[in-house]
Amino acid sequence: MKALLISFVSGGVFAVGLGIGGMTQPAKVIGFLDFAGSWDPSLAIVMIGAIAVHSVLYRVIRNRPSPLFSPTFSLPTRTDIDARLVGGAALFGVGWGLAGFCPGPVLTSLVSGNLPAVIFVVAMIAGMYLYKLIEVLRLRQADAKNKSTASRLVASASPVRRSHDDY
Amino acid sequence: MENFTPIASLIGGILIGISASAMLLFNGKITGISGIVAGLLSPTKSDTLWRATFVAGLVAGGLILKLLSPQGFEIGVVRSGNAFAFAGLLVGFGARLGSGCTSGHGVCGISRLSMRSIVATVTFIATGAAAVYIVNHLLGGGL
């Protein structure tokens, strides 16, 4: 219960931070990405402020054996740079630049009465579903391949990676 | 630089940093919004509630902002509904394929000095800037 209250309040503080920082205004986000136009560095200042606070507190918090309301920390462990990371970030950036919305600000804008925010959220969730669907098909194919190899070699098939780190 | 809001953006950024730090200190979670939302698409008993309450908090925070300063939600650019839909699809798909978005990679990952997050952030700022260049300087600013 306490953990859920923290989640709710953190979500609220995150949203208010985005709003005060100007990130719920697509024109300001696009203004940051418009290096050849009248550049608006506000987004960089939001990131610098957030990173300045979190990079210090992250190190302090990680010195604890565990979080306060949960038995363990859930942190990403991967360190490899692969094509999926770069390709995914590239696609993400194009969508971000076209609309000036990314997941946090657009969810914060969901009840603002802006139809574009609603359209974007529906499409974003559809995009996430599409990814999930492709991933399921891909893993199923890999599983089938593994099984046939295993039966031929009578060796244990290498486990298929089921997930990569989630942010 | 006429629209630059350094003080408000610094305060906003500090609040985001505090929020992400509270999620880590109390719940042990990384505040990556796309990951939190995507987790809701594959519900598991132990995991769904904190994700749903975080998203509910985001929406509630938006409601408070809306009541205090409605101009904070100005779109300010010319885009059709189809353009928003196409962009949303790319953002949702790309965030999953690339394991994160502006919050997970850009704020939390860079704070942890994760090389993956630094590469992802540089990449999406670069392709975002390319998209904006094409729209603003080659297509006349609207879509």
In this complex, do A16 and B39 lie within 8 Å of one another by their Cβ atoms? no
User: Closest Cα to residue A74, out of B35, B70, B129?
Assistant: B35
* Total number of domains in chain A: 1
| DSSP symbols for A69-132 | SSSS----------HHHHHHHHHHHHHHHHHS--HHHHHHTTTTT-HHHHHHHHHHHHHHHHHH
pLDDT digits (tens, 9 = 90+) for B81-118: 999 999 999 999 999 999 999 999 999 999 999 999 99
**Residue A159 maps to a domain:** no
User: Is this model's pTM higher than 0.90 or not?
Assistant: yes
In this complex, do B73 and A13 lie within 8 Å of one another by their Cβ atoms? no
Determine the Cα–Cα distance for residues A57 and B120; give it in Å rounded to an integer.
Answer: 22
In terms of residue numbers, what domain contains A34?
2-153
**Residue A164 maps to a domain:** no
Nearest to B126 among A34, A93, A166 (CB): A93
Nearest Cα residue in chain A from B67: A112
In this complex, do A104 and B76 lie within 8 Å of one another by their Cβ atoms? no
What ipTM was estimated for this complex? 0.96
Report chain A residues whose CB lies below 8 A from the CB of B112: 55, 58, 75
Give the Cβ contact number of residue A69 at 10 Å.
17
Using only the alpha carbons of chain A, give its radius of gyration.
21
Q: Chain B contact for A43, CB < 8 A?
A: yes
pLDDT digits (tens, 9 = 90+) for A52-93: 999 999 999 999 999 999 999 999 989 999 999 999 999 999
